[in-house]
Amino acid sequence: MDSISMVKREPQASSLFSDADIIVKARLERVDMQMLDKLVEGLGHLGIVTTTNKALGEVMIQTTKHCWPDLKMAIEAMPFEIEFFG
């Protein structure tokens, strides 16, 4: 039996990271949406931006609870206004 199969069957392995992922919703000007996407993409491992409502400038940022503090600080330093919500 290989180690991957053993990890999948181990109940603690799935619960270890079950609460690590978070989704942050945000709103910004439509003209800044692509810039946010490119800048977050440039940060590599911190998160992924997905547009949820282009007309309203709404995005979803997928990250982890461990990466979010660094990503939030980086986003807040970016050259546009962004509002995080519910």
Per-residue pLDDT, 16 = 61
Per-residue pLDDT, 1 = 43
pLDDT, tens digit (0-9, with 9 covering 90-100), for 6-65:
444 445 555 566 668 999 999 999 999 999 999 999 998 899 999 999 999 999 999 999
Global pTM reads: 0.75
Q: What 8-state DSSP symbol labels residue 24?
A: E
Per-residue pLDDT, 9 = 47
* Burial bucket for residue 42 (CB in 10 Å: 0-12, 13-18, 19+): exposed
